[in-house]
Amino acid sequence: MLFHVRMDVNLPQTMPENQATALKKTEKDIAQGLQESGKWRHLWRIAGQYANISVFDVSSVDELHTLISTLPLFPYMQIQIMPLCRHPSSIRSNDA
């Protein structure tokens, strides 16, 4: 199942810089591992914002929830999720 996910990150201004840096590094490591596994298909930054648009390829809504909710920055995110399905006018026969 494919999901379009928008994640807006809002770290507290009072968070110590070293804590924010450590969270971001751990987040990056996890995100890159999920991309390598094929679960996190696409990751696009939204220009001028601390936000991204991502496409996840997971077996269920529960798996998506588990992946997202275990990200280190999850407590600081506002998340919007849209399930995706093939459009009948698409010229592509697969998701490659």
pTM of the model: 0.90
Q: Is residue 91 part of a domain?
A: no
Q: Tell me the mean pLDDT per 10 residues along the chain, length 96.
A: 97 97 97 98 97 97 97 98 92 76
The sheet that has 51-57: what strands, in order across it? 40-45, 51-57, 2-9, 77-84
Q: How many domains does the chain have?
A: 1
Q: Which domain holds residue 17?
A: 2-84
Residue 92 belongs to some domain of the structure:
no
